[in-house]
Amino acid sequence: MSTWTPSELQRERIAYRRARARRSTLIAVVSSVVLIALVAVGIGSTPGWPRVRATFFDFHRGWEALPIVAQGLWLNIRVMLICAVLIVIFGMTLAIMRTLRGPIFFPLRVFAAAYTDVFRGLPLLLVIFLLGFGVPALQLRGLPNQAVIWGGAALVLTYSSYVAEVFRAGIESVHPSQRAAARSLGLTYRQTLRFVVLPQAVRRVLPPLLNDFVSLQKDSGLIAVLGVIDAIRAAQLETAEDFNFTPYVVAGLLFVALTIPLTRLTDYVARRQGWYGGGGGPV
Amino acid sequence: MSLLSLRGVRKVYGENVVLDGFDLDVDAGECVVLIGASGSGKSTLLRCVNLLETVDDGVVELAGVDITDPRVDADKVRSGIGIVFQSYNLFPHLSVLDNITLAPIRVHGVRRDVARGRALEMLERVGLADKATAKPDELSGGQQQRAAIARAMVNSPQLMLLDEVTSALDPELVGEVLDLLRELKSEGMTMLLCTHEMAFARDVADRVCFLHQGRPLEVGPPAQVLDAPHEPRTQEFLRRIRT
Ligand SMILES: Nc1ncnc2c1ncn2[C@@H]1O[C@H](COP(=O)(O)OP(=O)(O)OP(=O)(O)O)[C@@H](O)[C@H]1O
Ligand SMILES: [Mg+2]
C-alpha cells in the first residue's frame, strides 16, 4: 500500500465538487417537481379530463385486466425470443452473402441485396397481413396455418433485413489490414471471416443491434392484427366489453417495462464501447 | 540457389507504377534491407512477396517455386512466410497469446496445449512473458511490435518480411528488437526488411537495396551502398535522410 494521503488542495477540490453535485441534484429535483405539477394542473383543468381519466386511467379496471394482458404478454415474449434467434442467424447469413467475392457468388450477392432493399422498404404491417392472411389462403398442404407462426415469420423476414445491414456495416468497418494480417498467417478466407472479422464486427455493432431488438419487442405487438391473443389483442378484447380503454394503457406499460432492461443494457454496452461522446474506449 | 527470387516484378495502382520490373535475389540465411524514400514501394514489395497483392507482371520464386502462378495455394505459401507489418495489425479482440496461437491451431493443426507452450516460449524470447493475457491495446507500441514479431515467428517460417519494425520504438527498444533480429539471423533465418533507419540497416544487413522509381537502383553490402554509394540518387537520398 502506498502512503499517499490527499493534499490540502486535493481535499478542497473534492469538497468543492461534492458541493456542486449536491446543488445540481437539488436543482434537478426542484425543476422536475415544478414541471410535473404544471403538467398535472394543466391537464387536470381541461374540461374533458374527468372523462379521459375514467376511460383510460381507471385503476380498478386496469387491475382487473392485468392478469389477462400479462398472459398475452407472455406470448409476445416467446415470439420475441424465438424470432430474435432466427433473425440473428438469417441476418448474419444475408450480411455474409453480400460480402462474398468471386463470380460464383454473384447470384447470392444479388439475392441478398435485393432482399434487404425490398424488406427494409416494406411496412412491417403489410408483411404481416400478406403472410398472415395470404399464405393460409393458399391452402397449401403441409404449411402451418396458425396465425402466430406467420406473424412471427413476418417479423423475422423484415427484421432480418435491418439486422443484415447492421452486420454488414460492422463487417465493412473492420480495417482491411486486419484481413491482410490474418491472410498473411495462412488463414483462409473463411477462417479470416470467422476468427478475425466477425468477432470484431459483432462487438462493434452490438449497440445498434440491441436497439433493433428493443423495437422488435414492441413490434411483436403488431401480430395482434392476425387475431393472435398477445398482450395487445387481449387488451382489445377486454376493452370491447365496456369501452374502457384502460387495458390498452396496461398493455402499453407492460411493453415499456419489458423494453427498459434491454434499453439499459444497450446503453451500458454502448457506453463501455465509447459510442457516446469523447474518449474512444476500447473497441 | 537463392531462397527468394524476384524477376521483373511489376505492380501498378491505377496510374501509379510502384514496382517497374524489379529484380532481386535473397539467399537462404541472408538479411536484405530495403531502403528508399517514403512511397518508393518498400511495403508494396513485401506485400507482393507475401501474395497479399497480386503482381501485374513478373515472377516471384520461393525455394524454386513460382508463387505468383495463380494455380498455387496462396494460403499455404503465406503460412510459410512470416510478415510483420508497419502498423503491427494485431487482432484487437484476442489476447496476445491467442494472437500468437491462432495460426498454429487453425492453419497448422497444432494441438492447443502445444501451441500455447510454444507461444509462451516465444513471448519469453521477445520479453513479453508477463503480457500473455493482455489485449493488444493494453500494450505500448514497442510491446505490440514485439508481439507481432512473435506471432510471425511462431510458425517457424522459412522467410521473414519485416516492415519498419523499429519506426515506432524508442532507442532502447530498437536495441532490443535489433538483438532479436540478430539472434534470428544467427539461427539462419532469411529476412527481407525495410527501414528508414540507416544505423539499423548497417547493423543487420548483409546487403542493402536502394529502391528508386520502382527498381533496385543500387544493391550491395552496407559499407558500399550506405557509405560509398555510386549512384547520385542514392547519395542524394542518404544526404537528405542525414540532415
Ligand atoms: N492499396 C493501395 N492502393 C493504391 N495505392 C497504393 C496502395 N498501397 C500503396 N499504394 C501506393 O503505392 C506507393 C508505394 O507505397 P508503399 O506503401 O509501398 O511505400 P513505402 O515505400 O512502404 O513507403 P513508407 O516508407 O512511407 O512506408 C505509394 O505511392 C502509395 O500511395
Ligand atoms: Mg511502408
List pLDDT tens digits, range B4-47. 999 999 999 999 999 999 999 999 999 999 999 999 999 999 99
As a whole number of Å, the CA-based R_g of chain B is 18
Of B103-117, B209-223, B229-243, minimum mean pLDDT range: B229-243
Structure confidence at residue A280 as a pLDDT band (50, 70, 90) = very low
Q: Which of A178, A184, A188 sits opposite B83 (nearest CB)?
A: A184
Q: Is B221 in the pocket of ligand 1 (CB under 6 A)?
A: no
Task: Please indicate whether residue B241, judged by its CB atom, sits closer than 6 Å to ligand 1.
Answer: no
pLDDT at position A242 over 90: no
What ligand has the least distance to the C-alpha of B196? 1
Q: Choose the closest CB to B78 out of A178, A183, A200.
A: A183
Residue B151 has pLDDT above 90, yes or no: yes
Q: What proportion of chain B, given as a percentage, has pLDDT over 70?
A: 99
- DSSP strand pairing (B57-62 vs B65-66): antiparallel
The pLDDT-based confidence of B170 (bands split at 50, 70, 90) is confident
What is the rounded average pLDDT for all residues in chain B? 91
Is 3.40.50.300 the CATH number for B4-80+160-242?
A: yes
| Rounded-to-integer distance, Cα A108 and Cα B231, Å | 55
What is the Cα–Cα distance from B202 to B199, expressed in whole angstroms? 5
Residue-level pLDDT at A282: 41
**Chain CA centroid to CA A14, Å:** 40
Reading phi first (left if > 0) and then psi (alpha if -120 to 50, else beta), residue B170 is in beta
Which of B40, B45, B88, B163 for a ligand 1 pocket mutation test, highest count of atoms within 8 Å of Cβ? Answer: B40
| Number of other residues whose CB lies within 10 A of the CB of residue A17 | 10
Q: Mean pLDDT over residues B183-212, rounded?
A: 90
Confidence check: pLDDT of A56 > 90: no
pLDDT score recorded for residue A49: 87
Atom in ligand 1 nearest the alpha carbon of residue B41: 18
| C-beta B18 within 6 A of ligand 1 | yes
Which of B73, B90, B91, B98 to mutate to probe the A interface, most A CBs <10 Å?
Answer: B91
ipTM value for the complex: 0.88
For B9, phi then psi, to 5°, come to -70, 130
Model pLDDT for residues A161-188, shown as the tens digit of each residue = 999 999 999 999 999 999 999 999 999 9
Give the mean pLDDT of A51-74: 87
Reference A180, options B33, B206, B8, B84; nearest CA is B84
Which residue's CA is the nearest one to ligand 1's atom 28? B39
Residues of A in contact with B85 (CB under 8 A): 177, 180-181, 184
pLDDT at B141 over 90: no
Q: Does A277 touch chain B (CB under 8 A)?
A: no
- B166 ligand 1 Cβ < 6 A: no
In CATH terms, the fold of domain A68-272 is MetI-like fold (1.10.3720)
pLDDT score at A5: 86
Contact between A185 and B93 using a beta-carbon 8 Å cutoff? no
Interchain contact, A178 vs B89, CB within 8 Å: yes
> What pLDDT is stored for residue A275 in this prediction?
63
Q: Does the structure show a pLDDT above 70 at B53?
A: yes
Q: Is the pLDDT at A88 greater than 90, yes or no?
A: yes
Total-model pTM = 0.82
Please determine, for residue A274, whether its predicted confidence score (pLDDT) is greater than 70.
no
A217, A258 contact by CB (below 8 A)? yes
Residues 6 or more apart whose CB falls under 8 angstroms from that of A199 comprise B93
Q: Which residues of chain A does B137 touch, with a Cβ-Cβ cutoff of 8 Å?
A: 282
Is a pLDDT exceeding 70 seen at residue A283?
Answer: no
Task: Write phi, then psi, for B89 (nearest 5 degrees).
Answer: 55, 40
Q: Tell me what percent of the residues of chain A surpass a pLDDT of 70.
A: 96
Which amino acid does the sequence have at A272? R
Ligand nearest to the backbone CA of B45: 1
Q: What is the pLDDT of residue A100?
A: 87
Q: What is each CA distance from A63 to A60, A67, A244, B87, B154, in whole angstroms? A: 5, 8, 13, 63, 67
- Give the pLDDT mean for A114-119: 95
Beta bridge partners of B159: B81, B190
Place B198 in a pLDDT band, splitting at 50, 70 and 90: confident
Q: In angstroms, what is the span from residue B43 Cα to ligand 1's centroid?
A: 7
Report domain extents, chain B. 4-80+160-242, 95-156
The burial of B190, by beta-carbon neighbours within 10 Å (0-12 exposed, 13-18 middle, 19 or more buried), is given as buried
Mutate to test the interface with A, among B49, B93, B95 (most CBs of A within 10 A): B93
Give the three-state DSSP class for A98.
Answer: helix
Shortest distance, CA A183 to any CA of chain B (angstroms): 7
Residue A34 CB: number of other CB atoms within 10 A?
Answer: 10
For strands B207-212 and B215-220, give the pairing: antiparallel
Spatial distance between the Cα atoms of B210 and B40, rounded to a whole number of angstroms: 10
**Option in A180, A183, A187 nearest B106 (CB):** A187
The confidence score (pLDDT) of residue A281 equals: 39
Task: Give the A window 162-191 contacts with B, CB below 8 Å.
Answer: 177-178, 180-188, 191
Q: How many CB pairs under 8 A join A and B?
A: 62
Q: Which residue has the higher pLDDT, A137 or B238?
A: B238
Among chain A residues, the shortest Cα distance to B50 is held by A184
Look at residue A140 in the predicted model and tell me its pLDDT: 77
Determine the pLDDT at residue A279: 38
> Is the pLDDT reported for residue A278 higher than 50?
no
Domains of chain A, by residue range, sit at 68-272
Q: In this structure, what DSSP letter does residue A278 have?
A: S
Q: Which of the residue ranges A27-36, A48-57, B164-173, B177-186 would you say has the lowest mean pLDDT?
A: B164-173
Q: Which atom of ligand 1 is nearest to the CA of B14?
A: 4
List residues of chain B with CB under 8 Å from any CB of chain A. 47, 50, 52, 75-76, 78-81, 83, 85, 87, 89-93, 102-103, 106-108, 135, 137, 151-152, 155
How far is the C-alpha of B19 from the C-alpha of B110, rounded, in Å?
37
> What integer pLDDT is reported at residue A276 of this predicted model?
60
**What pLDDT is stored for residue A232 in this prediction?**
87
B39 lines ligand 1 (CB under 6 A): yes
In contact, A123 and A154? CB cutoff 8 Å: no
pLDDT band at A54 (very low <50, low <70, confident <90, very high): confident
